[in-house]
Amino acid sequence: MKIVLIGANGTLGKAIAAELARRHFIVSAGRNSGDLRADMRDLPSLRALFEQTGKVDAIVCAAGSVHFGPWNELTPEKFDVGLRDKLMGQVNLVLAGQDALVDGGSFTLTSGILSEDPIRLGACASLVNGALESLVRAAAIELPRGLRINIVSPTLLLESVPAYGPYFPGYKPVPAVDAALAYSKSVEGRQTGQIYKVW
């Protein structure tokens, strides 16, 4: 398969790329790195990306930023970080990518454990992750041409403990290579509308 991977240079993205590249051709794309450049916050940028790739079999997203901080310091602007980047960025990816996918092709998006298991300082992430999971359930009903859409919800990655561990007291981290298997299940399987939890 020909797979577009957004965020291939990140911790999770590198593991996904390594897993899928053993069997498929990967086109990496990102704001600042990858085979091709695209900003998922900008719909025309994504449309230009898919004009370059031509038809693809799968689109995978392992990118997206959210703000972490205490509730009493949150502002609309801080919520907007995740709303524009991780949430609308992935919405834009589906809107722009649906015409680039072959019949029966698939999207695999990324949410996270905070959609169901919130933490202090993580309200922005919980909001975005929950919205993305709802989007996937709804889009699976209506996507045309047999297109599939799933989402992977990873917990804290082992490799990310130095940076994010203090936010997740008591959580058992998982290696990125384990999380990458869920993306393989989504891309290479036949399910749609699923949330693959890697907790």
Domain ranges of the chain: 2-198
Q: What's the pLDDT at 52?
A: 98
Q: Please identify every stretch of the chain with a pLDDT value under 50, giving residue numbers as ranges.
A: none
Following CA atoms 108, 190, 141, 44 in sequence, which dihedral angle do they give, to the nearest 10 degrees?
Answer: 30
* Fold of the 2-198 domain: Rossmann fold (3.40.50)
**Beta partners for 152?**
110, 196
Q: What's the pLDDT at 158?
A: 98
Q: What's the pLDDT at 123?
A: 98
- Which one-letter amino acid corresponds to residue 10? G
Q: What's the pLDDT at 139?
A: 98
What are the strands, taking DSSP E only, across the chain?
Answer: 2-6, 25-30, 36-37, 56-61, 101-110, 148-154, 195-198
Pick the closest to residue 118 from 72, 81, 74, 71 (CA basis): 71
In whole angstroms, what separates CA 155 from the centre of its chain?
13
Cβ contact 57:101 at 8 Å? yes
Determine if the pTM surpasses 0.75.
Answer: yes
Q: What's the pLDDT at 173?
A: 98
Cβ contact 27:35 at 8 Å? yes
